[in-house]
Every structure is written in C-alpha cells, then in structure tokens.
Structure 1
Amino acid sequence: MGNFGLLLDGFQIALTPYHIMLMVVGVMLGLIVGVLPGLGAPNGVSLLIPLTFSMDPVSAIILLASMYWGALFGGSTTSILFNIPGEPSSVATTFDGYPMARAGQPTRALTLAFMSAGIGALVGVVVITLLSSWAASFALRFGAPEYFAVYFLAFCAFVGMGSAAPLKTVVSLGLGLLFSTVGMDTVTGSLRLTFGLDVLIGGISFLVVVIGLFGIGEILATVQDGHKFRGLSSRIDLRDVLRTIAELPRYLTTVIRSCAVGIWMGITPGGPTAASFMSYGIARQCSKPGQAFGSGRAEGIVAPETADHSAGTCAMLPMLALGLPSSATAAVMMGGLMIWGLTPGPMLFTTKPDFVWGLIASMYISNIVGVILVLATVPMFAALMRIPFSIIGPVIVAICFVGAYTVASETFDLWLVLVFGVAGFVFNKLEFPIAPLVLAMVLGHKAENAFHQSMIISDGSLSVFFSNPLVGTITTLALALVVVPQAVKLLSRLRRRGAAGSAH
C-alpha cells in the first residue's frame, strides 16, 4: 500500500493543467525527433535540457520523459510507412511493418505497433511502481565499494551482453572514461588533459558530446546512405483501427513474452534496441505455422514494439533507484538530474519523493497521450517526411549547433560538436557502439570517486571489493558477465572445429 499511496500523491502532481500541457508538448516534440532520421531520442533530449534550466525539476523531467516516449512512437511511424527507422530500436519493426503497409494495410500495421508499444510501456511503468521502493531501500545498504562494484557491473554488462564485439565495447568505454577525466581532479585538485586550454578546466560537457555523436554523426551517416523518403498511403481509417484493436488478444502470448524480454533488457544495460531484436528473434522461433516472418506478419510488429517500449520505460528504474542508467537516453536524463542539483540514487526517493512519484505518475499519462497523438498525427508526419532531406538535414544541423552553444555559450563547444560528430560517423561505420561511451562519460566521475574512497578505506587493497557478501557478489557477477559469454563462444567455436575435423 505504501507505493500505491505515493503513486496517488504523484498523480496529484502530474494531473495539473501545466504538467498535462508539458506532456502533450513533450510527446509532440518526441514524435518529430523520432520521425526525422538524424535526431534520435538521446540527441533530442540533450537538445531540450538547456531549455529546462529555468523550470522546476519535476516539470523538467516530465517534459524530457514525455519527449522520450514520443521519440519511441515516432520511430515506428517511419519504419512502417517509409522503411526508414527513425530510432535504432525501430529497425526490427521495418522487417514486417513495411511489408504489411506495402500490402495495403498501413492502418493495421500502425495500430498494431502503437497499441503494442502502449501495452509494453504500461507494463514497464507498473514494474517501476512495484519495484522502485524496494530497489531504493536495497541500495541504502551500499557504501563506496558497493557503488563502484555496481558501476563496474554496468561496464561489464555492456561488454558481455552487448551486440557489438567486446573489444570494440571496451574501446568505447575507455574513451568515455578518458573524456570524463578531462578537467580538474576532484580528489587531488590537479588539472588533467586540458592541454593548456582554460575552456577545458571544467571538463567536457556530456551534452555537447551527445549532440555531436548522435546528431551530427547520424546526419553524416544519413547523407552517405543517401536516404530518400518515399512513403506509402498514410490515411488512418477509424474502422480499421477498431478492428485491429479487437485482433490484439490473439497475440497475448507474444505480448507477455516480449514484455518479459523488454523488462529484463531495460533493467540491465541491454537497452531498447537489443530488446526489440531479441524479442523479434524469439517470436520467429516460437511462432506457429502461417505467414512467413518478413512478409508482413503481425507478430513481427507486436514483438519488437512491445519489447522496445517496455525496455525504454524500465531503463528509468536503475537510473532513479541506483543512479545507474541502462540506456543512452537514460544516461542523458541522469546528466540532466545532476545539472539540476539532484543526485540519482536511493536517497532521491527519501529527499525528493514528489519528484520521483510525480515522474512515475506522469509515465502512465504521457504514454496514453502518446498513443492518441501518434494515431492522430500520422498523416501530418508522413507529409513532413516528404520534405527533401536537402532541406531537413541543414535544419537539424543548425538545431544541433544552437543546442550545443546554449549549454555554456562557448564557441569552443561548437568545434567539439563537429569533432564528436565526425567521431560518431566513424564509430557508426566501424560498428563501434556509442551508448557505452555516453554511459562511461556520465558514470566516470562517480566511479572514480567511489574507487578513490574504496582505496582509502582499504589502504589500497583491491580485496575491499570482496570484503562482504554484497560487494563480493556484485563484483563476481560483473566478472562473470565478461568471462562466461566469451568462454561459451570459445567452446562453441572449438566444437565446430572438432565437428568439421571429424567430417573430413
């Protein structure tokens, strides 16, 4: 009953005309971000953060979270109508969404996507409601060694569970940690990696890095890929919408399975993109005989969309309760909290319950708003996608540079955006993951401080990370996440070689 009472208090905060207006505005901005290739949720949220500096934190986080939900919905629109994923997590939706729309069923495809997404998001919010207080009270047992072990677990999880090559993930994490050390060392007071530039004394803003990596980098990739927006009919027929909603109970098993995948990948650092691909693959393996996947099968839309949104929502739980973002967008939001003077973690639930539960309550409302708005605005955004990229591209670039300049009003930041934009393009082409770099930049200072404190406590002995059952379990799990997947891959490789040798 404790959580339920706190949630009701949260609804009193969220259900005000001002906050409902912010949800509508945030979802609409998110839809634009999700529809336009080259922006994306992390970049859209980072561009919006400077505009929230004058707002109170509750209103600011409601606006940013609503934008995130809208971006996830918007990515599905372009995936289905144009075969162009507006978000990386919407790639799996193109496999069956676009064929179904091309076969003359765009309304059915869109409705399946949006309703599945709404269900996945709702389940994710329920999980956050039920587990948040428990997670926060559990985290109160943490000291410096436990916190460093948790950060180490996050880094190891990206290495062991990520879809990219482990070595590439390690390089990405290492660069993120390196960039986080630029500026003044908070422990010794010495300057690091500033190269005599006064503008670097305060460090490199993670917002500038994100805008460059996700904004300019994606624009460069889009230009090279030569995307041309050729859309299908986008008229929404209300009768088709109602028929498709009545059809959804047939896919209950797929929805439940995809929600489970999304919840797990959201709480761990798997993220929405990995969740959507994993859920699509499982749905294909578990499917009954019928229409082939990749030709417009309904489960091929329901599975990735449900997992995508439940993962995106559940990523907020470790960010709020542990100060541990499990996706790039959650990392950007966490950076925003720290800019507003809030420290994510268990004490946030005690010191700022109105903030936490106002945000959780707003998630229920903004996702409902998102489903309604996205169905109502599909024709408008489809028309927007028909504007030549030669016009949209420069507008996005201008928005990125303006957003970067507003962070600290430094001309040097504009050069940094350009540098990180090129770096993002190179990362994209070489298939280096960007999310671990962003995560390491956000967690770098916290991990370094926790490590320093742990070394002071233990007189420089690493045994402190095995000094009690809690920290020892977390550290062991972190190491296992790196070692076990690689051992399994090595064994399977040896088996294949052995089988090939015996065949000859």
Structure 2
Amino acid sequence: MEELNALMGGFGHVFSMHNLGLMFVGILLGIVVGVLPGLGGPNGVAILLPLTFSMNPTSAIILLSCIYWGALFGGAITSILFNIPGEAWSVATTFDGYPMAQQGKAGEALTTAFTGSCFGALFGVVIITFLAPIVAKFALRFGPPEFFAVYFLTFCSFIGMGKEPKAKIIISMCIGFMLAAVGMDTVSGELRMTFDIPELLRGFDFLVAVIGLFGISEILLTMEEGLAFKGKKATIDLKVVFKTWASLPRYWLTLIRSSVIGAWLGITPGGAVAASFMGYGMAKKMARQPDSFGKGNVEGVLAPETSAHAAGTSALLPMLALGIPGSATAAVLLGGLMIWGLQPGPMLFVEQKDFVWSLIASMYLGNIVGLLVVLSTVPLFAAILRIPFSIIAPAIMVICAIGAFTVHGASFDIWLMAIFGVVGYIFKKLQYPLAPMVLALVLGDRAEDAFRQTMVGSKGDLSVFWSNGLVGTVMTLAVIALVWPLVSGLISRMRSPTPA
C-alpha cells in the first residue's frame, strides 16, 4: 500500500503540461533514434543528455527515459519493413516480422510488435514498483559464474531449439565467437587477430555487422530477385489495429512467459539482446507448430519484442536501487543522475523519494503514450512499402552507411558493413543461419570474460558452476537444452512401435 501511495504522488508530479509535452517530444525523438540503424538508444540518450542540464532532474529524466522508450519501439519498424534491425535487440524480430510484411501483413506485424513491447515494458515497471528490494538483493548475488551460466544457457537454447541443421548452427556460432575475439583481450590486455590494422583494436562492432549482415545482404538478394519488395501493396487502417488487438489475448501465455524471461535477464543482467533471442527460442519451442516460425508467425514477432522491452525496462531497477546500470542506456542515465547531483542507490528511495516515484510514474505513462504515438503512425510506416525499390534501395544504402559511420565516426566501419553484407548474402544463399553468428558476436566476449574470471577465481575448478543453487540450476537447464534434441529423439524411438 505504501508503494501505491508513493506512486500516486509520482503521478501528481508528472501530470503537468510541461512534462507531458516532454514525453511526446522524447517518444518522437526516440522513434527516430530507433529507426536509424546504428544510432541506438544509448547513443541517442548520450547525444541529447547535454540538452537536459538546464532542466530540473525530474523533467530531464522524463525526457531521456522517453527517448529510451521511443528507441525501443522504433527498432521494430525497420526490422519488420526492411529486415534491417534498427536496434540490436530487434534482430530476432526480423525472423518473422519481415516475412509477415512480405505477405502483406505489415500492419498486423507492427501492431503486434508495438503492443507486445508496451506489455513487456509495463511488466518491467510493475516489477520495479513492487519488487525493488527483493530483486535488488537477487541481483547482488550475481558474479562471473552466474553471468557465464546465463550466457551459456542462451547459446545452448539456440542450438538445442533451432530447426536448422545443428552443424550449420554450430559453424555459424563459431564464426561469431571468432569475430567477437578480435581486438584487445579485456582480461590480459593483449591484442588478438588485429593484423596490425589500427581500426581492429576495438574489434567488430555488433551494429556495424548487423547492418551489413541483414540490411545490405537483403538489398543484394532483392536485387537478384527482380528489384521489387514483396508485400509493397500493404494497406493499414484502424480495423487492422483493432483486429490484431482482438487476436492477441489468445497468446497470453507467450506474453507472460516472454515478459518473465525479459525481466529476469534485464535485472540480472543478461541484456535485451539475449532476452529477445531467448524469448523467441522459447516461443518456438512451446509452439504447436514450430515449423511455422521464420515464415511469418505472429508469436515470432510478439515474443522477442515483449522480452526485449521487459529486459530494457527492468534494467533500470538495479540502476536505481543499487547504482549498478543493467544496460548501456541505464549507464548513460546513471551518469545523468550523478551530473544532476543525485546518487543512485538504496538511499535514493529515502532522500529523493519524490524524484524516484515521479520517474516510475513516467515509465507507466511514457510507454502508454509511446504505444499510441507509434500506432497512430503505423499507416505512414507501412506506406514505405509502396515506394518503388529503385528509389528506396539507394536511400536504405545511405541510411545504412550513415548508421555504420555513426557508431564510431569512422569510414572504416562503412567498408566493414559492406564486407558483412557480402558475407550475409553468401550465408543466405548457402542457407546458413545468421542468427547464431550474430548472437555469438554480441555475447561472445562477455561470456569469455565471465568464464575466464570464474576460472581464475576457482583455480580452474569447473565444479564452481554447480557451487550454489542459483548457478547450478541455470547450468543444468543449459545442458538439458543442449541435449534435448537427442533425448527427445531417443524417447520418440522408444515410443514408436517396433516392426514385426
């Protein structure tokens, strides 16, 4: 009850024309940030952070957090319409979102993505509101063994639940691990596989690779198929939105499961990227028709978007309660709080109670406002599909190049983007899955660091991964997910009648 009273007080501070106006501005800016490949929520918030120095902390954090919500929403737009992930966590959305757009269901895909995003984000805010003390203690228990266990579970789930040939999944994932190892070794400080190229000192940036692997390769494939977008005649109106809303309750289990996965990985933190892949993998595993995934399944859009937004929102909990940022954007917001003279941590809820609950109230309103804004502009986004490919392809190429250049401000990244585009094209022609490579590229270095730190601390004793109930449970689940295809195949053979 105390939390509810404090939340009502927060709504009282937020409900002003000034703050509501900042919400709309932040959401619109965030959508632009999310749509542009390579810019991303953390960069957008960081770039606009100096604009808030003259504001009071409450208004400033409302503007910046709404930019974050808008970026979360906007990342799905280019993923669904052009197969170009606007954000790192939108990669899994392309698997079924883009096929739906090609089938003339762009409106249904976008509405599903936005609604799932809002549900997942609100789920995360509810956790922040009511479970902050418990979750904060849980997050403190995570060390290198627990972090590696989470990453290992993600990798094993992708291998065990993938429908592609296991050899191709493993090969693709190993290439991703190799790419993730390029650059400076964060444990020893030594350089690895840089070949005396200064630009490779920082390694391969995930967003540069993704823009090339998914965006450029798709343009090359589309050119080969005849310079035309499939589904370009898609039309959307409010009937599509309401019809999609009416069908979503049947996926209530997917919504709840994906929200729980996202909130867990956001708090621990496993990250929105891992959450989106795991949400997608679990939805595919639990589906009645798993073979329909990758061909335009609604759950394939709903699950990753819900998980990613639940993770992105929940990542703010350890930042507020412990001063430990759970994501890159949370780290930027943490810096903003410190600039404004606020120290995140347990005492923030006591010394700056009005500020904290105003921020939490703005999370509720910001996501609802964001849903309304993106849904009202769905026809505009869907109309992009009507533009002739000969016009839109050069524009996409320019946007991709700008996005790649924006990541580090280096022209070398544009060349890397082009190389990854050719690699993605070859992979698609040879029917090798790109998702395992991308997943390994994103999480490979983090998993390596966590594993090596664990080995240093345990002096090479692998039993540390079963040293307590938390890490042991996660590792056991990972092993089960990895060998599950073999176990299920063996069970099927045992159950099948033997020929006489």
Q: CA deviation digits over 1:80-132, x for unaligned, max 9?
A: xxxxx99433257569x84xx8xxxxxxx95x777665654443234323445
Any conservation in 2 of the 1:62–1:359 contact (CA below 8 Å)?
no
Q: Which residue of 2 aligns with 1:129?
A: 125
Q: Which whole-Å CA distance do the structure 1 matches of 2:150 and 2:236 have between them?
A: 48
Point out the more displaced range, 51-60 or 392-401.
51-60
Q: Which residue of 1 aligns with 2:463?
A: 463
The offset of 1:149, in angstroms, is 1.9
Gaps of 5+ in 1: 34-42, 80-84, 102-108, 286-293, 295-299, 324-332
Q: Which amino acid aligns with 1:448?
A: E
Q: How many residues align?
A: 442
Q: 1:45 to 1:334 in 2, by over 3 A?
A: farther
Q: CA deviation digits over 1:48-106, x for unaligned, max 9?
A: 75454423396556424413324436777899xxxxx99433257569x84xx8xxxxx
The offset of 1:369, in angstroms, is 3.7
Q: 1:435 to 1:233 in 2, by over 3 A?
A: closer
1:140-179 to 2 correspondences below 5 Å: 140-179=140-179
Q: CA deviation digits over 1:367-398, x for unaligned, max 9?
A: 53454345543444444322211111111111
Q: Which whole-Å CA distance do the structure 1 matches of 2:420 and 2:286 have between them?
A: 32
Q: Which whole-Å CA distance do the structure 1 matches of 2:29 and 2:423 have between them?
A: 32
Q: Which amino acid aligns with 2:49?
A: D
Q: Which whole-Å CA distance do the structure 1 matches of 2:78 and 2:369 have between them?
A: 13
SS in 2 for 1:44: coil
1:340-379 to 2 correspondences below 5 Å: 364-379=364-379
Residue 473 (1) aligns with residue 473 (2):
yes
The offset of 1:270, in angstroms, is 4.1
1:65-214 to 2 correspondences below 5 Å: 65-72=69-76, 87-90=94-97, 93=100, 98=104, 110=107, 120-131=116-127, 133=132, 134-214=134-214
Any conservation in 2 of the 1:122–1:367 contact (CA below 8 Å)?
yes
Q: CA deviation digits over 1:265-306, x for unaligned, max 9?
A: 656554565577678746999xxxxxxxx9xxxxx9986665
Residue 23 (1) aligns with residue 27 (2):
yes
Q: 1:490 to 1:309 in 2, by over 3 A?
A: same
Q: Which amino acid aligns with 1:388?
A: P
Q: Which residue of 1 aligns with 2:412?
A: 412
Q: Which whole-Å CA distance do the structure 1 matches of 2:214 and 2:109 have between them?
A: 25
The offset of 1:321, in angstroms, is 6.8
Q: Which whole-Å CA distance do the structure 1 matches of 2:178 and 2:260 have between them?
A: 29
Q: 1:88 to 1:67 in 2, by over 3 A?
A: farther
Any conservation in 2 of the 1:47–1:404 contact (CA below 8 Å)?
no
Q: Which whole-Å CA distance do the structure 1 matches of 2:363 and 2:165 have between them?
A: 34
Q: Which amino acid aligns with 1:502?
A: P
Q: Which amino acid aligns with 2:229?
A: K
Q: Which amino acid aligns with 1:228?
A: F
Q: Which whole-Å CA distance do the structure 2 matches of 1:190 and 1:2 have between them?
A: 52
Task: Normalising by structure 1, report the TM-score.
Answer: 0.69
Q: Which whole-Å CA distance do the structure 2 matches of 1:351 and 1:433 have between them?
A: 47
Q: Which amino acid aligns with 1:55?
A: L
Q: 1:386 to 1:166 in 2, by over 3 A?
A: same
Q: Which whole-Å CA distance do the structure 2 matches of 1:430 and 1:352 have between them?
A: 54
The offset of 1:319, in angstroms, is 5.8
Q: Which whole-Å CA distance do the structure 1 matches of 2:184 and 2:199 have between them?
A: 12
SS in 2 for 1:196: coil
The offset of 1:482, in angstroms, is 0.4
Q: Which amino acid aligns with 2:259?
A: I
Any conservation in 2 of the 1:162–1:270 contact (CA below 8 Å)?
no
Q: Which residue of 2 aligns with 1:260?
A: 256
Identity among equivalent pairs (%): 36
Q: Which amino acid aligns with 1:67?
A: A
The offset of 1:415, in angstroms, is 1.6
The offset of 1:466, in angstroms, is 2.0
The offset of 1:259, in angstroms, is 2.3
Q: Which whole-Å CA distance do the structure 1 matches of 2:398 and 2:447 have between them?
A: 35
Any conservation in 1 of the 2:180–2:203 contact (CA below 8 Å)?
yes
Any conservation in 2 of the 1:276–1:304 contact (CA below 8 Å)?
yes
Q: Which amino acid aligns with 1:153?
A: L
The offset of 1:453, in angstroms, is 2.1
Q: 1:260 to 1:485 in 2, by over 3 A?
A: farther
Any conservation in 1 of the 2:29–2:67 contact (CA below 8 Å)?
yes
SS in 2 for 1:502: coil
Q: CA deviation digits over 1:340-383, x for unaligned, max 9?
A: 888xxxx9876999999888766644553454345543444444
Q: Which whole-Å CA distance do the structure 1 matches of 2:477 and 2:236 have between them?
A: 51
The offset of 1:228, in angstroms, is 3.3
Q: Which residue of 2 aligns with 1:56?
A: 49
SS in 1 for 2:499: helix
Q: Which residue of 1 aligns with 2:453?
A: 453
The offset of 1:178, in angstroms, is 2.0
Residue 44 (1) aligns with residue 37 (2):
yes
Q: Which whole-Å CA distance do the structure 2 matches of 1:224 and 1:349 have between them?
A: 55
Q: Which amino acid aligns with 1:404?
A: A
Q: Which whole-Å CA distance do the structure 1 matches of 2:163 and 2:313 have between them?
A: 22
SS in 1 for 2:395: helix
SS in 2 for 1:385: helix
Q: Which whole-Å CA distance do the structure 2 matches of 1:487 and 1:469 have between them?
A: 24
SS in 1 for 2:220: helix
Any conservation in 2 of the 1:261–1:278 contact (CA below 8 Å)?
no
Q: Which whole-Å CA distance do the structure 2 matches of 1:177 and 1:2 have between them?
A: 48
Q: CA deviation digits over 1:427-451, x for unaligned, max 9?
A: 3334444344333333333322222
Q: 1:94 to 1:189 in 2, by over 3 A?
A: closer
Point out the more displaced range, 151-160 or 267-276.
267-276
Residue 228 (1) aligns with residue 232 (2):
no
Q: Which residue of 2 aligns with 1:327?
A: none
Residue 314 (1) aligns with residue 318 (2):
no
Q: 1:474 to 1:374 in 2, by over 3 A?
A: closer
Q: Which amino acid aligns with 2:149?
A: A
Q: Which residue of 2 aligns with 1:392?
A: 392
Q: CA deviation digits over 1:196-253, x for unaligned, max 9?
A: 21222232222322222232223223333443366557474x7x589x57x966x585
Q: Which whole-Å CA distance do the structure 1 matches of 2:28 and 2:280 have between them?
A: 25
Any conservation in 2 of the 1:172–1:433 contact (CA below 8 Å)?
yes
Q: 1:154 to 1:305 in 2, by over 3 A?
A: closer
Q: Which residue of 2 aligns with 1:217?
A: 217
Any conservation in 2 of the 1:78–1:86 contact (CA below 8 Å)?
no
Residue 502 (1) aligns with residue 495 (2):
no
Q: Which whole-Å CA distance do the structure 2 matches of 1:365 and 1:395 have between them?
A: 34
